Structure 1
Amino acid sequence: MEEKRFVGVRKEEYSIKQFIKRMFGKGKISKVRIEYTPVGEKIVVSTHKPGWIIGKKGEKISQLTEVLKKKFKMENPHVDIEEIAHPEFDAQLVADDIALTLERFGAMKYKASSYRALGRIKNGGALGAELRVSGKLPSDRARRWRFAFGYLKKTGDAASVVDRAEAVAQTKQGIVGIKVAILAPGIKVHDQITIDEDFMNEVKKNATFEEVEETVKKVKKKRKTTAKKKPVKKKEEVKEEKVEVKEEKGDKK
């Protein structure tokens, strides 16, 4: 019974999220998060256009709360708006933006829209990004196109920090699918080595020319001692060998 109840709650949450996204339109909302509190349900909407979502004097928010009470039977829903400071690093907003351009100008503009979105992400300072567009582009047969730059983790624990999203564009030629993956700046990756340039500059300023020369000499001495030297025979040993050979020849005579 508990498993069925858990599945039912998740289904209801998914339907609420999809309803809110359809209500405000494609490209306006990135994520919808539902939290349960003792007072009531808290719905957090992440968007880069908070003024458009709230409306004049909070009209749209009040309409949304009434719909949630009537349609989804929520007792006391409370809607919060979370502003996205950098929409170019949000995978869902980027995917929706590409889908809207394809729906508006046609599927032939898939390269221009993809390169434009990739340029905004790159200029913003992202570590890496990948865009995949699949569908009837531009021929009758379905094709896949990939646009990418930088560094992007695809497997392992580090892949969890990559923001991924999908979107669908309904064009005259057919349905086009868009997949976006972005590795935003400032995210710590385990196998990435960073050098503190300020510390290096301080060390260079404090170090004198004499100290640098001494360290170079020490390094050269260590290299000489560690290098293998070939054994060289002395001149006296070579002469003795020649004398012994002559004596042996004389005995034979």
Structure 2
Amino acid sequence: MTHKVHSKAFRIKGMEDFNIRGFYGKDMPKYLEEDFLIKDFLRKKLSEASVANIEIEHSANKLNIIIETARPGLIIGRGGEGVEILKKIIEKKIYDIKSPAKTKAPARQIKIDIKEIKNPWVSAMLVAQMSAQQVEKRMPFRQVLKRNIERVMQNKEVKGIRMEFSGRLNGVEIARKEWLRQGRMPRQTIRADIDYAIAEAHCTYGVIGVKVWIYKGDKFE
């Protein structure tokens, strides 16, 4: 029997890397709770900042958070005050839970790096977010499908795209799934550079799921 596998998880060993990196030791459960809390807070706090990805790196006495966004100015703020506010909130949240950082000295230094995504139309997460927002504004889902696929395929680095909507599409009684593909999409090829993301559109008649696959060619190490 076949099984559905996350496109990035399928490629982690050969072509992709984990979003959370570091050595946890015996305190792994506590650190994982801490990482989940940080990522959950940042996704909610920066929901309007077009955040594509959040990576967390652990070292001996440092915690490095890398945020990939298409709107870095909204996060950084005037004179970097936005980043400093985020640091203080994260420090407080880490201290509030029973994490190793609270019980062991010295306390870890938190660093936040902002990476700008210059072209949001080549990021699967940003395309999924924009599509979900358009559906929430009552745009017909087929129009969103065709328009966004055409916009993504205008980029030379993109070799193919697949976009899928599922749920009570246009408010009908019976939930269904519809998808559209343009170009190549070799989802079973491990060396294929496929960016995959999921987003949700919260409408008055229910939740619409949005999935996006963007194929950018093959990776050769």
TM range, normalised to the smaller chain? 0.7 to 0.9
Distance 1:179 1:29, change over 3 A: same
Structure 1 position 115 matched with structure 2 position 137: no
SS in 1 for 2:52: strand
Higher helix proportion: 1
> Is structure 2 residue 204 aligned with structure 1 residue 182?
no
Structure with a larger share of its residues in strand: 2
- Pick from 168, 186, 197 the counterpart of residue 165 of structure 1: 197
2:162·2:180 contact (CA, 8 Å) conserved in 1? yes
Percentage of identical aligned residues: 27
Cα distance in 1 for residues equivalent to 2:202 and 2:141: 13
**Distance across 1 between alignment mates of 2:26 and 2:111:** 26
**1:56-104 CA distance string (max 9 Å, x none):** 111211110000110123632111101112211101001011111112x
Letter in 2 for 1:149: Q
When the two chains are superposed, the root-mean-square deviation of aligned CA atoms in Å is 2.0
Give, in whole Å, the separation in 2 of the partners of 1:26 and 1:119: 24
TM-fit CA distance, 1:27: 5.9
Q: Secondary structure at the match of 2:154?
A: helix
Structure 2: which 5+ runs fail to align? 1-23, 96-100, 102-107
Q: Distance in 1 between matches of 2:202 and 2:25?
A: 36
1:85 and 2:118 are equivalent in the alignment: yes
TM-score w.r.t. structure 2 length? 0.76
Which residue identity lines up with residue 118 of structure 1 in the other structure? I
Q: Which residue of 2 is the match for residue 145 of structure 1?
A: 178
TM-score by structure 1 length?
A: 0.67
Q: Give me the whole-angstrom Cα distance separating, in 2, the residues matched to 1:145 and 1:27.
A: 28
User: Which residue type is aligned with residue 218 of structure 2?
Assistant: K
The CA distance in 1 between the partners of 2:134 and 2:215, in whole Å, is 23
| Separation (CA, whole Å) in 2 of partners of 1:189 and 1:40 | 31
User: Does the CA contact (< 8 Å) of 2:49 and 2:75 recur in 1?
Assistant: no
Q: Which structure's relative contact order is higher, taking Cα pairs within 8 Å and 6+ residues apart?
A: 2
Partner of 1:221: none
Structure 2 distance, partners of 1:21, 1:157, is 29
Distance 2:61 2:29 in 1: 23
Give the 3-state SS of the residue equivalent to 1:165 in structure 2. strand
How far apart, CA to CA, are the structure 1 residues paired with 2:186 and 2:26?
35
Structure 1 residues 60-75: aligned runs within 5 Å:
60-73=82-95, 75=108
Q: How far apart, in 2, do the equivalents of 1:117 and 1:5 lie?
A: 44
Distance 2:112 2:59 in 1: 13
Counting only pairs closer than 5 Å after superposition, residues 90-105 of structure 1 correspond to structure 2 as 90-103=123-136, 105=137
Unaligned runs of 5+ in 1: 191-253
State the partner residue of 1:249: none
